[in-house]
């Protein structure tokens, strides 16, 4: 499938692994441009919010760009495709509890809390490959499919609204690995580092109708 008609805006707020995501999207044939001001939204078909670091730090960096109103307009008011990755997923929740309690963007509800690490043999942070089970169809994945993705996190998204959990994983506890609300999709794992399964996931996102 060709994604040459897709023009992805990659939110640049100095807290995301921009280069590896650009490389993955380039591999799929999509155009990629950084978005750092409101005028950069023009002409984009899809938006992507990355994130690396602590929740509060990333939330402050994102708000400092002044792009939050445009991001909300895009994803909620206009219902256009947005993908959050790792901390970029977590920022879409109502709040995060990493190093204190911090307000998120409130686009998908829920709270980001630490993984329990129970029993003690469960290592935190959760780093490496893990199975994700899909609860519904997404791109070429079908409900009930399991695929291996790469994770690197100590906190996870909890309390998703019923019916909006698209995929789950297990690491001491079962947690929401993918959430979807309409054309808004977010993953705790890194699809850009997840080889073939990650590219299939990004294909699913690029396949969302931008209109």
117-148 pLDDT per residue, tens? 878 889 999 999 999 999 999 999 999 999 99
**Can 171 be counted among the known catalytic residues?**
no
Structure confidence at residue 118 (pLDDT): 78
Report the distance separating Cα 3 and Cα 101, nearest Å.
39
Q: What mean pLDDT is reported for the chain? A: 95
Report the distance separating Cα 156 and Cα 120, nearest Å.
18
Confidence band for 15, pLDDT divided at 50, 70 and 90: confident
Confidence band for 7, pLDDT divided at 50, 70 and 90: very high
Q: What is the pLDDT of residues 30-86, one digit of tens each?
A: 999 999 999 999 999 999 999 999 999 999 999 999 999 999 999 999 999 999 999
Catalytic residue among 6, 22, 46, 86: 86
- Examine the pLDDT at 16 and tell me if it is beyond 90: no
Catalytic residue among 22, 98, 192, 203: 192
Q: What percent of the chain has pLDDT over 90?
A: 90
Confidence band for 209, pLDDT divided at 50, 70 and 90: very high
Structure-token pair, residue 53: 């670091």
Residue 134 DSSP symbol: E
Catalytic residue among 46, 102, 153, 190: 190
Query: Hey, how many other C-beta atoms are within 10 angstroms of the C-beta on 118?
Result: 10
Identify the CA nearest to 167 among candidates 152, 187, 184.
187
Structure confidence at residue 162 (pLDDT): 75
Q: What is the pLDDT of residues 133-191, one digit of tens each?
A: 999 999 999 999 999 999 999 999 988 787 799 999 999 999 999 999 999 999 999 99
Question: 0.85 cut: is pTM over it?
Answer: yes
Report the distance separating Cα 197 and Cα 107, nearest Å.
26
**Can 190 be counted among the known catalytic residues?**
yes
Structure confidence at residue 120 (pLDDT): 81
Structure confidence at residue 160 (pLDDT): 79
- Arithmetic mean of pLDDT, 192-211: 96
């Amino acid at each position: 499938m060709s994604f040459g008609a897709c023009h992805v805006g990659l939110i640049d707020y100095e807290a995301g692994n921009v280069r590896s995501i650009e490389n993955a999207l380039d591999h799929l044939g999509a155009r990629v441009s950084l978005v750092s001001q409101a005028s950069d939204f023009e002409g984009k078909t899809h938006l992507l919010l990355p994130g690396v670091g602590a929740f509060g730090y990333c939330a402050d960096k994102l708000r400092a760009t002044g792009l939050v109103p445009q991001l909300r307009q895009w994803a909620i008011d206009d219902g256009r495709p947005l993908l959050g990755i790792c901390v970029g997923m977590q920022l879409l929740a109502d709040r995060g509890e990493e190093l204190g309690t911090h307000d998120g963007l409130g686009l998908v509800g829920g709270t980001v809390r630490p993984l329990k690490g129970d029993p003690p043999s469960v290592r935190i942070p959760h780093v490496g490959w893990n199975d994700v089970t899909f609860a519904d169809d997404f791109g070429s994945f079908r409900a009930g499919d399991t695929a291996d993705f790469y994770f690197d996190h100590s906190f996870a998204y909890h309390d998703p609204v019923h019916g909006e959990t698209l995929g789950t994983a297990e690491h001491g506890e079962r947690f929401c690995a993918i959430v979807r609300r309409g054309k808004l999709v977010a993953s705790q794992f890194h699809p850009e580092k997840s080889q073939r399964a990650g590219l299939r996931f990004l294909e699913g996102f690029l396949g969302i109708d931008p209109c």
